[in-house]
Chains A and B, each alone.
Chain A
Amino acid sequence: MNAENILSQFRATGVQTCFHDRHINPQIYAGLNGSNWRLKDYEARGGYQALRKILGKDGAIPTAENGVLGMTQDQVIATVKESALRGRGGAGFPTGLKWSFMPRQFPGQKYLVCNSDEGEPGTCKDRDILEFNPHIVIEGMAIAAYAMGITVGYNYIHGEIFSTYDRFEEALEEARAAGLLGNNILGSSFNFQLHAAHGFGAYICGEETALLESLEGKKGQPRFKPPFPASFGLYGKPTTINNTETFAAVPWIIRNGGQAYLECGKPNNGGTKIYSISGDVERPGNYEIPMGTPFSKLLELAGGVRAGRQLKAVIPGGSSSPVLPASIMMECTMDYDSIAKAGSMLGSGAVIVFDDSRCMVKSLQRLSYFYMHESCGQCTPCREGTGWLSRVVDRVENGQGRPSDMDLLNSVAEDIQGRTICALGDAAAMPVRAMLKHFRHEFEYHVEHKTCMVPAYV
């Protein structure tokens, strides 16, 4: 066997993570089986009907005045606003509102960017969307481009998932050949060129302005905001950036209406959301469920805590979000407002589960190393602070901690938070502060006994 064949044996099939019957009313993952990602399959599932619905049939773009059948730009944006769709990348910003910030009448080039640089530890949902349902993202982007009067877009894909990037390129070719991208889409006067770009191993490029720098062919160092991308984005032009899952939600909303989408979830938290569950569960994977589903239900879908152990803690929204102890987490529903009220963030929807055999010091040690490694080095509090945090957590874990180290960690974390250009500084500080808030006794035990409180794990 040649090398390529050997490696292909280990390629993920999606069976464990995506094609299971444990989603609840899925929209994005509905009906996928791994071999039906092509254009014809997507169309058989109702794909590109939303785009056909908005575009005027006689070649004119519908406006409020001309009476052409379809949906006007304002109607599309109003529908997305009504749906209460919020940004799925982490910030949870209302999508319709973001779209309305785009200066539609700006005379020069405007850009649409999809952030598929999925590198927040715990998150693996966008990969399955792009791999197994790429056209839903293309359709969502085309609708967004139409609504905002944008003619050029880029999908920036995590460099580590190169085969997924290749597949997306293939899907783009299919869409172009079918007249769903390019000039005069579906015979209308709407033009939209969409291209794929890739990263190559820099977590920071998931930050939207770092992503724009990277797309311009530079180091991915975030920009100071304001100006926001809506006024000064890619190549200095007005730009709207949304996450992959956000775009993927749009076709359903246009087909079924904003109100119907809202009703799938709960007020202010419309629709379904994909949660990536990793760590100590029986069945790690992606689960698409309605917003507002109890965490206990989600845990049950994932087969419960591994090997019948007890739940200790959960990081509910990717590694940057504050950890919550089991007692608090079991009272939460999975939506932006409930998790925020409990003192954390829904973030990207990456749920990292810890059972009662886990040492929280060792867990934080790995995260703090990660933020040190990925700090872009631009801001002093982050560049120096993440290294400081990492070294102190390291010595506590290794039995060389000092009684003052817990206060020192809190103090360094406080001095980073809110003092950097982008959110990576906050992302490094928040896990430290939350671990100390809820599990300080484990850190104290490490310092006092120079060993771990719970059975060590590798």
Chain B
Amino acid sequence: MISESIKTRFAKEVAKYPVEQKQSAVMACLAIVQQELGYVSADSEEVIADYLGMAPMAVHEVTTFYNMYNQHPVGKYKLNVCTNLPCQLRDGVKALQYLEKKLGIRMGETTTDGLFTLQQSECLGACADSPVMLVNDRSMCSFMSEEKLDQLVDGLRAAEGKP
């Protein structure tokens, strides 16, 4: 369900653009929905399409073109580890492999308790901070040594009461 508070956030984005160009806010609206509901469903796309005066397919084109939109439900914490070349040179791949082992899943999968989804990602634009990882699209975590990965995963597990 798209609540009134979500629509208030939509309105703030729409206000940035000329009145006849409401469609420009589609990227932001999809990101807001994902933050609030975890992923972008076909129903959410329809609500956004209606709100912005777009064809639902035009919204779907955007959802499927950009890598960060979740087209299906994911774990409560989506971990995107950068493995692009500058990070590969500084243990980015090792960080991903360490998480695969620690979480007992392969990249692209979600843990059975629904807590973590692990993904490989392309350049996050934080190359000097490698190993870097983006958590739930909005929190960039830098210099993620194995020790810090332990702290992060164990900390989140404890916070969710699943140590």
Chain A residues in contact with chain B, CB under 8 A? 1-3, 6-12, 16-17, 109, 118-124, 126-127, 154, 158-163, 195-203, 214-220, 235, 276-280, 284-286, 319, 350, 352-354, 358, 363, 366-367, 370, 373-374, 376, 457-458
Contact = CB atoms under 8 A, between A and B. Distances in A.
Which 4 pairs between the two chains have the least Cβ-Cβ distance?
Answer: A201-B67, A201-B68, A10-B141, A217-B23
Interface residues of B, number: 63
B151 to A, nearest CB: 8
A197 B16 contact: yes
Contacts of A7: 135, 139, 141, 152
A350 B97 CA distance: 26
Nearest to A279: B89
15 contacts: A1-B159, A2-B159, A3-B159, A10-B141, A10-B142, A119-B122, A123-B127, A160-B124, A163-B139, A196-B16, A199-B66, A278-B87, A354-B89, A358-B89, A376-B65
A352 B66 contact: no
Contact of A162 (B137, B141, B156): B137
B54 interface: yes
B65 A11 contact: no
B42 interface: no
Contacts of A17: 128-129
B89 A352 contact: yes
Contact of A286 (B67, B128, B159, B160): B128
B66 A202 contact: yes
Given A200-B66, A203-B122, A235-B18, A122 B61 contact: no
A219 B62 contact: yes
Interface of B: 16-18, 21, 23-28, 30-31, 52, 54, 58, 61-62, 65-69, 77, 83-91, 93-94, 97, 121-130, 134-135, 137-144, 148, 151-152, 155-156, 158-160
B24 A373 contact: no
A379 B98 CA distance: 38
A280 B89 contact: yes
Given A126-B125, A160-B140, 7 more contacts: A7-B141, A11-B141, A160-B134, A200-B137, A217-B23, A218-B23, A319-B123
A3 B135 CA distance: 11
A216 B21 contact: yes
Nearest to A237: B18
A11 B85 contact: no
Nearest to A160: B124
A219 B27 contact: no
A411 B120 CA distance: 30
Contact of B129 (A124, A162, A196, A366): A124
Nearest to B144: A10
Given A163-B138, A217-B62, A124 B68 contact: no
Contacts of B61: 218-219
Nearest to B30: A200
Contacts of B138: 162-163
